[in-house]
Chain A
Amino acid sequence: MEDMKLIADHLVYEYNKGTNQTVRALDDVNFVIRTGEFIGLIGHTGSGKSTLVQHLNALLKPDSGTIYYDGADVFEKGYDRKALRGKVGLVFQYPEHQLFEETVFKEVCYGPINMGLDTKEVEMTAYAAIKRVGLPDECIDQSPFDLSGGQKRRVAIASVLAMKPEILVLDEPTAGLDPKGRDELLSMIVELREKEGITVVLVSHSMEDVAEYVERIIVMDKGKILYDDVPKAVFSHAEELEAIGLAAPQVTYILKDLKAAGFDVDTTGITLAEAKETILQALTWKH
């Protein structure tokens, strides 16, 4: 029981209530996040991912249902939601659009200052956060607006990390980055997790992004949770995923084609490494 860090309990949320354009963005969403998990949240554009993650730190209040954090109802009167936002660090999509300070250092200090830490602590956590996202020292006194796109995004992530969240939620962190920037950012997140054991929720509309790293995948479609399982189990529903505009990783398709062509491969492979192994095995076995 104590392991249920965050519980989403029957969340329902509608936009444009009271008009003829009501959108039900969340429709009875339930799940549990446990400490140390690495979760991928995927779904087609408009499936409600961003709406959902804004509930996790109480930025949006559900029309019905609620969120429990450490066993406490976060929408109850008197709950300290500001403190919650420090514990559930949410990095928005295109977070570089929220930068406003003169220097990278001040930018990263903004979060911890708001959390009410004293100056010394603020500066230490800010510096640590800048290092954790892999920004070079010479950036620290630069204007965040002079950095490259990928670096700006790291600054924004650092500014959330500096609040020392227990759960880090990233909304499409790789959107708009080139392949190199994407790989660097993803491996940075993996490293953060491996070194510090921080709980991570990674939102994406791309299977390739999440397949390789996460331990659990939540698939959303039209405001509902469709699957919530380990990657292999989720990707075994390749046809269903395609029907909702998603796809299994490309290697899974290759393995399926090979199988159809008579090779004895294991089609549940989802990463490049797994595919390589099973293909090599199939080949040596044949000879």
Chain B
Amino acid sequence: MLRDITIGQYYSADSVLHRMDPRTKLLGTMIYLVSLFLFDSAPVYALAAVFLGVVIMLSKVPFSYMVKGLKSILFLLLFTVFMNMLFVKGEVIWSFWKLQVTREGLRKSGFMAARLILLILGSNLMTLTTTPTRLTNAMESVMKPLKLIKVPVHEIAMMMSIALRFIPILLDETDKIMKAQLARGADFESGNLIRKAKSMVPVLVPLFISAFRRANDLAMAMEARCYHGGKGRTQMKPLKYAGRDFAAYAVLLLYLAGVIVIGKFL
């Protein structure tokens, strides 16, 4: 049921992308996301799609698995597309009652959809190929300069990694509880919206109880191992750039240059 949600989960495999330094992936993802917002032009999106396609192939994460992750944002996607289609002013090509679809609206919503899909796939790819621990280390290392202005960098990174780590656990738990209530004759599908919302109570109450229990257990376990925040903490496997990381940065810069050239001159 809920197993289709792949956002934020790690997909273990042995690929260049998995072995890459998490900082490279973090910065690379940011560069990629920025590149999606630079230009509203079809050739740029085509380049971005091809680039992402190649990287996904390199990551050895099955394409069908990536697409499954999109399912959960399908509603958001359709909503945005519709809104853009109906409310952007311009040359009217089709109208019905008070609603108007314009050429500009169509164009805009097409770009919006492309941008959203690439954005989700791109950032998903990072979490799919990076374990939460390594991602935290990367965040902490990238945000280090902020320590100077007293931002609790370590704590923020730790919280984010715990949140990431807990997504699959809580999804699993939800799945289990839903099944247990189904075994007691629950019905999550039929009825109107209010009935459906009500039918979720037997799932949400146990889920919250379990989340609090887990949070409590984790806090205890951390304390029992003398965790006291980031001060004086060292790492067993400090991050180190390798040849493939420099290559990756070079490819990224090339890609960015490509985007700018195409966006400006095509």
List residues of A whose CB falls within 8 A of some B CB: 16, 18-21, 54, 57, 59, 82, 85-86, 89-92, 95, 97-100, 110-111, 113-115, 145, 159-160, 163
Contact = CB atoms under 8 A, between A and B. Distances in A.
A160 B202 contact: no
Nearest to B185: A114
A85 B206 contact: no
Given A18-B62, A19-B65, A85 B205 contact: no
Contacts of A85: 182-185
B19 to A, nearest CB: 16
A168 B65 CA distance: 37
Contact of B179 (A59, A86, A114, A145): A59
Nearest to B210: A97
Given A92-B176, A97-B206, A115 B185 contact: yes
B50 to A, nearest CB: 24
A98 B186 CA distance: 12
B12 A21 contact: yes
Given A18-B65, A100-B206, A59 B182 contact: yes
Interface string B1-45: 001000000011100000000000000000000000000000000
B201 interface: yes
Task: For chain B, give the interface size range.
Answer: 20 to 34
Contacts of B180: 92, 95, 97-98
Contact of B184 (A16, A20, A163): A163
A99 B206 contact: yes
8 contacts: A20-B13, A21-B12, A85-B182, A86-B185, A89-B183, A98-B180, A100-B205, A110-B185
Nearest to A54: B179
A98 B3 CA distance: 20
B62 to A, nearest CB: 6
B192 interface: no
Contacts, number: 66
Contacts of B11: 19
Nearest to B13: A20
Given A19-B65, A90-B183, A114-B187, 17 more contacts: A18-B65, A57-B183, A92-B179, A92-B183, A97-B176, A97-B210, A98-B181, A98-B206, A99-B206, A100-B205, A110-B184, A110-B185, A111-B184, A111-B185, A113-B185, A114-B185, A160-B183
A207 to B, nearest CB: 26
Interface in B181-203: 181-187, 201-202
Contacts of A89: 183
Interface string B200-234: 01100110011000000000000000000000000
Nearest to B181: A98
Nearest to B190: A82
B95 interface: no
B64 interface: yes
A159 B184 contact: yes
B160 interface: no
A21 B187 CA distance: 31
A24 to B, nearest CB: 16
Given A92-B180, A95-B180, A100-B206, A82 B62 contact: no
Nearest to A114: B185
B179 A18 contact: no
A125 B177 CA distance: 24
A167 B209 CA distance: 30
Contacts of B202: 98, 100, 110
Contacts of B184: 85, 98, 110-111, 114, 159-160, 163
Contacts of B186: 114
Nearest first, the 5 A-B pairs at minimum CB distance are A114-B185, A100-B205, A98-B180, A90-B183, A111-B184
A163 B62 CA distance: 43
Interface string B163-187: 0000000000000110111111111
A90 B182 CA distance: 10
